[in-house]
Structure 1
Amino acid sequence: MKVIWRNLCQYSKNFWQHWISFIILFVGMDLANQLIFIPLFRLATTYILQAGGIPFISYQNIGILVTQHTMVVIGLLVELVLLLLVIYWQFACLLLGLRLILANQISFKRLMKESWLVMQNIRPGSLPLMLLYFVLVLPFVDLVFRTPLLSKVQIPEFIFDFMTRSNMLLAGLIVFYVIITILGIRLILTLPLMIYQRYRTRDALVASWRFTQKLKWWQYVKQLIVLGIVTTVSLGLFYLLIYGLQTVMDLFPGKLAFIIAIFNLTLVQVISELLTIWTGTIALQVVISLIDDFSADKGQIRKNSWWGWAFLTLLAIFAGGLIVVNNYYYLKGSGLTRPVTISHRGVAEENGVQNTIPAMKRTHRLHPTYVEMDIHETKDHQFVVLHDENLKKLTGINKTPHELTLAQLTKLTARENGHRAKIASFDQYLNAAEKLHQKLLIEVKTTPADSKGMLKRFNRQYGNRIIQDHDLVHSLDYRVVTGLKQLNPKLKVLYIQPYNFSYPQSIADGYSMEYSTLNFEFIQQAHHQKDMVYSWTVNDADVMKQMMYNHVDGIITDNLGELNSTIDDYLGSQSYANRILNFILAVPSSGGLEP
């Protein structure tokens, strides 16, 4: 432990001797990402899809893309190659910048020159190996090599939720992550070797495996664990101090509490960013110490040049001004609106069987704006309220809705959460909702067994009624969105998206987006087009606050009671201390290296 502390103290000393240069490097790269690279890649993806007349990419149209839209596929592959090159360049700038700063040789011109020389070392055959490498190091992006571009490559949360529902799938997921973690740890030196010692990708992978053999990797993993603990505890104590200070200041009358709140919230953001850069710099030194000794004396410490101070000063003034203005309006409560509340599958806190009338009646007492529910077509071309494509989970009968008539289906009893209830037809469910004056968000489920006239029949039977009841429709199948909008333009139809990597562009009236890939940029673009955005399925209070902070229009949840109380806490609190706390929970610090 003494060796670990000694090393971390030395790496921390290195940081504080050059802290201005590190801030300029990291913040400069962050601005380049947020203002240039991320918008450009999103615009490129959107433009490529629009040029091919494709509003989205999902599992539903992958086959069509490959067989019928060759130029679109080529364009997306070219974009992927450019993305890999940009990410590689970012790593090169970080690692080269780290070495140049610690050697007192940093300059913008030299950094660009050396990073360009590194880029010239890449060969086309290395790209597949680079892609594999980036996938392997994803578990470590929060600790070591975090970039906004790479960190956006993530598996949507609903996939993890699905995998954890089965013991076999959960075991497979655990084994998969153990293997990925081991490979990521053993190969983490690949990029440093490519950038510092100009190794080819394949040679760097082999060398990284050799450098980390016989548990040599454990020495840097232990240091990273200690670093993570120190960072987390330090940040937690700092947040606790600020919260306590603001709680005391809120007792004072007049505007003093508000002024101090702006200062405290700004301090939270500045210290969080500084601690993030400090942690990332030390983490990089920990890993690279396996191939280079940064603890050695590199010579006399050179004072930072005047341009460094000037750049930092201008950057601080610009960023500080934006932060203070944003904090002013946030603490004032300006722009905060109450999102619509949506009960997922008509249940709240497991108060009944999903998609059944008794559960909907209980949930209605919690006053959701909408009750979200699902419908399938039956064997006799009617509509039953059901989510799964198979009845076995809820009824024990291994049949699909298309194998039974509506009369047969409505005789079945579903069991869940210690409750039991009859399966309902859509007519029965709609009638019950109308008696309660409860608005619905109707998800139209589709399967290959659906009849050709399903949408026409749905619109003919229920279209005008849905409009009169101010209900909404959404679907994961984009053909449902386009079909219903063509049949009945007055219907409000949303498109369900399980992941997000391009700007919103479709004929839908809005989007139901899986929350883990939903961001403020997508919401802002949708609002610019006057489209609504709902997030699903949000069951955690902190994530609910993140969604509200990003101005989402509605939240779909299994825990409606918790959502109601979270909204009241987030919007109704008059305490500046609580608003600062809500900000901390809604916008958590990255906890790692994010240039």
Structure 2
Amino acid sequence: MSASQPGDVERDSPSPRRRVDLIDSTRFIGVLRLTRASFWHYLAIILVLQGAIVTCVVPAITSLFELALGSAGLSNLTDRNLVTMLTNPLAVLLLLLIAIIALAAVSLQISTIFIVANRQQGGRSLGLRAIVAALTWQVRRIFHYQSPVLLAYFFLIAPLGGLGLLSVLTRGIAIPPFVTGEFMKSPLSAVGYTAVIGTIFCLNLRLMLTLPLMVVSGRTPLRSLGRSMLATRGHIWKLAVSVSGPVIVAVLVSSLGVEIIVRVTELAANLNPDAAVVVESVAIGAGRVFGFIVIGITQVVVAHILISVSRELVGLTTVHPAPAAGRPRGARAITAAAWSIAAIMAMGIGMTAAPAVATPVTGASDTLVLGHRGFVGGGVENTIPALEAAAAAGVDYVETDMQQTTDGQFIASHDSNLFIVAGINRNIFDMTFEEVTSTRVRAGGHSALIPSMEEYVTRAAELGVPLLIELKVHGHETPDFVDRFLAELDSLGVTESNIYHSLSADAVEQLTAKRPELTVGYTIALTLGDLPDVNCDFFVVEQASFSPEFLSEAHAMGKPVYVWTVNDEETIRDLLRVPVDGIVTDHPDTAIRYRSLIADSRGLSFQVSDALSDLSVFR
């Protein structure tokens, strides 16, 4: 140990291949005692760190990103202009600064819990000065020339493996649902996708001791990573059981707590209906605080388990507190004060949340529900059976995709290559109209022929269902494809009965220029910053890029916002509560049901359970 290292970084074991038992009941009992002994210290640390990131780090990153956009001459970043951003030297430097700040924030947020756990297990002081000293030294380890390893781990491997909840900065990092949906279309692609996700999940388990080993032994990122891989080799399932045990218990406790809160709320409101709003508000606040405490305890328990294993790997002993016969008066006073603060927090959070959850969201009734490529529960996407199933479900619109064949005609299909949906490795733009419309697609136990645009829009008109037609641009269209597209719709007499959108800004501009009377939207797969500068009537934004700020800016310009492809029930409810102007979903029946509940229901059971649904697996 060098003189510059703090006292809690101790001697490495002379045996670098030391093995430890990853499932140890004695260790788990000791961990619970350690957590109980100083939990309120950890809770305060978690609150301070989360608050600092929300109030300081996030605004700083936002400001730097706006500077980067401006330096590249952009008002917003999309998948279409990403290269422009990455070829501007100043923008790249600012992005690197953002990466450094984000790495520091996430690393220190997680390292702090590990540092406190390590000091506690080593029988050392938990005083603020000692913790700050240890954190200062840890910064030197983090900002090592090997730090890109940590950057990849925290912002790519961990979030994609399901550990994005470690920090508010990584919580939103995930594979977009529309990408997942594309891979899950066929058994073969679903197996491949599942294998990739499973590999990332296993890699997360193999790397889980990396940061704890850095804290405990002072090793560099790469050495800690290698030691973590070695320690878990052949025993990955044991680490999974050891870590997932507390998580499973926490999920069950949190879910049970929500169920009790919902039932008690109903009972209290029935006894005194005039106090329903107050009861509801307090219940929501209490549920939020309860969930925060359960999650906090889980984080501390898991941190202690990983630190205990890491200490044993490097030859360090752990000091476990003996069972307390009785608690000192001072400790009881601190606990009472902590619970009082929690109660005040519950009341405050509840009262703040009350207007949002205790009152029906009348605007939700105006939110359009659009069946994504029909209703895949009743047929293969973009086929007639799926269209008919969507109409039967009562959708407001059916979203569908039209693209051009090699002979210049239009058919209904999202995929340009038919391998996933039909098992044929051919591109639509290389096939004739007759070849495409005689091809059978299969998914979800359903099968149907690929319909022509004429067949699809005609059947939609017969069903009385308007369409949101996406003009797909695959790069092999005829020069006059927009004119041909409009001419065919005109010949069928349905052009003005439907609305349109496209991922191609050029196609959107052409449609609005040629037919200004039509309603044309711009579809966005990725956007950060201001609204895209495209002449359109509405926006269709992928849910990962949606934000209340985006909605406000669009509404200020008089442009509705539809969000796609939203299949998660909690996200559907969240968007209905905003409310957005439209939700494009594979499950329109679910969206329609929640639209009715949120717009009209004042039942406490739904309102409270809806507000606390993210804390329960039963909701």
The aligned residue for residue 425 of structure 1 is 453
Measured in 2, the distance between the counterparts of 1:49 and 1:453 equals 35
1:304/1:96 CA distance change after superposition, 3 Å:
farther
SS of the equivalent of 2:469 reads strand
Deviation per residue, 1:263-312 (Å, 9 max, x gap) = 22221111011101011111100111013355524999996899999999
1:280/1:521 CA distance change after superposition, 3 Å:
farther
1:324/1:296 CA distance change after superposition, 3 Å:
same
The aligned residue for residue 201 of structure 1 is 221
1:496 and 2:523 correspond: yes
Deviation per residue, 1:27-74 (Å, 9 max, x gap) = 1222222333234334433442344244555555555655x5454444
The aligned residue for residue 230 of structure 1 is 249
Measured in 1, the distance between the counterparts of 2:47 and 2:234 equals 37
The aligned residue for residue 112 of structure 2 is 93
The aligned residue for residue 532 of structure 1 is 560
How far the C-alpha of 1:492 sits from its partner, in A, is 4.3
* Matching of residues 478-493 of structure 1 within 5 Å: 478-481=505-508, 484=511, 492-493=519-520
- The one-letter code sitting in structure 1 at the alignment partner of 2:263 is G
Say which of 476, 480, 484 aligns to 1:449: 476
Measured in 2, the distance between the counterparts of 1:401 and 1:211 equals 50
The aligned residue for residue 364 of structure 2 is 337
How far the C-alpha of 1:392 sits from its partner, in A, is 6.7
1:34/1:197 CA distance change after superposition, 3 Å:
same
Measured in 1, the distance between the counterparts of 2:233 and 2:386 equals 57
Check the 8 A contact 2:281/2:353 in 1, yes or no: no
How far the C-alpha of 1:97 sits from its partner, in A, is 4.0
1:290 and 2:320 correspond: no
1:61/1:517 CA distance change after superposition, 3 Å:
closer
Say which of 548, 556, 564 aligns to 2:592: 564
Measured in 1, the distance between the counterparts of 2:617 and 2:148 equals 29
The aligned residue for residue 9 of structure 2 is none
Moved more, 306-315 or 165-174: 306-315
How far the C-alpha of 1:356 sits from its partner, in A, is 4.6
1:524/1:12 CA distance change after superposition, 3 Å:
farther
How far the C-alpha of 1:370 sits from its partner, in A, is 1.5
How far the C-alpha of 1:360 sits from its partner, in A, is 3.4
How far the C-alpha of 1:101 sits from its partner, in A, is 6.7
1:546/1:5 CA distance change after superposition, 3 Å:
farther
- The one-letter code sitting in structure 2 at the alignment partner of 1:477 is S
The aligned residue for residue 575 of structure 2 is 547
Check the 8 A contact 1:533/1:554 in 2, yes or no: yes
Measured in 1, the distance between the counterparts of 2:226 and 2:424 equals 53
SS of the equivalent of 2:398 reads strand
Say which of 11, 32, 50 aligns to 2:31: 11
Measured in 2, the distance between the counterparts of 1:184 and 1:147 equals 16
How far the C-alpha of 1:159 sits from its partner, in A, is 2.6
1:196/1:527 CA distance change after superposition, 3 Å:
farther
Say which of 256, 265, 272 aligns to 2:275: 256
RMSD: 4.3
- The one-letter code sitting in structure 2 at the alignment partner of 1:95 is F
Q: Which runs of 5+ in 1 are unaligned?
A: none
Measured in 1, the distance between the counterparts of 2:231 and 2:436 equals 65
How far the C-alpha of 1:437 sits from its partner, in A, is 5.1
SS of the equivalent of 2:166 reads coil
Measured in 1, the distance between the counterparts of 2:128 and 2:538 equals 44
How far the C-alpha of 1:353 sits from its partner, in A, is 5.1
How far the C-alpha of 1:140 sits from its partner, in A, is 6.3
How far the C-alpha of 1:434 sits from its partner, in A, is 5.2
- The one-letter code sitting in structure 1 at the alignment partner of 2:171 is S
1:221 and 2:245 correspond: no
Q: Which runs of 5+ in 2 are unaligned?
A: 1-20, 312-316
Deviation per residue, 1:422-443 (Å, 9 max, x gap) = 72335x6555555655332121
Check the 8 A contact 2:561/2:581 in 1, yes or no: yes
Check the 8 A contact 2:177/2:565 in 1, yes or no: no
TM-score, length basis structure 1: 0.81
The aligned residue for residue 294 of structure 2 is 275
* Matching of residues 104-503 of structure 1 within 5 Å: 105-108=125-128, 110-123=130-143, 125-134=145-154, 135-138=156-159, 142=163, 146-212=166-232, 215=235, 220-252=239-271, 254-292=273-311, 295-297=319-321, 320-334=347-361, 337-338=364-365, 339-347=367-375, 349-350=377-378, 352=379, 354-356=381-383, 359-361=386-388, 363-390=390-417, 400-403=427-430, 408=434, 412=438, 414=440, 416=442, 418=446, 420=448, 423-425=451-453, 429-430=456-457, 433=460, 438-455=465-482, 468-469=496-497, 471-481=498-508, 484=511, 492-499=519-526
SS of the equivalent of 1:556 reads strand
1:395/1:154 CA distance change after superposition, 3 Å:
closer
- The one-letter code sitting in structure 2 at the alignment partner of 1:258 is V
Measured in 2, the distance between the counterparts of 1:348 and 1:73 equals 42
Measured in 2, the distance between the counterparts of 1:398 and 1:540 equals 31
Measured in 1, the distance between the counterparts of 2:337 and 2:514 equals 61
Q: How much identity, in percent, do the aligned residues show? A: 20
How far the C-alpha of 1:446 sits from its partner, in A, is 0.7
The aligned residue for residue 41 of structure 1 is 61
Measured in 2, the distance between the counterparts of 1:295 and 1:301 equals 20
Paired residue total: 582
Check the 8 A contact 2:360/2:600 in 1, yes or no: no
